[in-house]
Structure 1
């Protein structure tokens, strides 16, 4: 296989129209197949599927990361730094519901990354991040930079 593997993620929404406006309009995801119960989106080359399931939309568990309450259930993308900045500006202009406002985490240390968390109209949490040094994405030992191992 020559193409990179892509992920597929299905998630619940309470309103397909609102999902189309957020994923298609705000995030710029192209729409794929759909019917009255679900819609496919191209999420930067990955397939995500919004399924109409309002009863499944209320999960709010959180864990602390770098002094912020991070939603346990979330998905997102690792972007190039400039692409992250462009998306940050687009989300702000759209009046998006930020869970964690855009900021740089672990600044000046190993694993430095820009991150932001938003909720879609159904309450699903999305994280968008960018690393200054992409070799740190899967780094395990950050103790030399003052990070916990």
Structure 2
């Protein structure tokens, strides 16, 4: 499946912390930057961390599968081995999870792995994978 390219801008309260988290920790290549923002290559998608501490706040939570999911979040669909490798890397680094890696709909159409983390500014990120990418929009 060819993933679409998107552009997403989001607030952070510390550009150095964002640079460490997205650049060093998640391995996103840094693009252009200024004293007020940083572009990152987020698996071929452009994300922009804008210095806006007044806009940083924890997202409200909603109930999904008995778990408290951050309602406002963004993330990626990864291939299953890449998703597992990222989850393992985050665990080994001691990154706290909002929701630990788990598999939803095991053995059913739409079987997927998912987990949530927060960046240093509190932005929630979901990393997801599908056993069969053709099932991404299965009903």
TM-score (norm 2): 0.94
More divergent stretch after superposition (80-89 vs 107-116): 107-116
Deviations 1:58-92 (A, max 9, x none): 04211111111111110000000000011111111
2:45 is matched with which residue? 46
Aligned partners of 1:94 and 1:40: how far apart in 2?
24
Which structure's CA Rg is the greater one?
Answer: 1
2:23 is matched with which residue? 24
2:71 is matched with which residue? 72
Aligned partners of 1:95 and 1:38: how far apart in 2?
27
Pairs aligned (count): 138
CA RMSD of aligned residues (A): 1.4
Q: Is the 8 A contact 1:10 1:51 kept in 2?
A: yes
1:144 is matched with which residue? none
Query: Stretches of 4+ moved more than 3 A in 1?
Result: none
Structure 1 gap ranges (5+): 141-149
Structure 2 gap ranges (5+): none
1:130 is matched with which residue? 129
TM-score (norm 1): 0.88
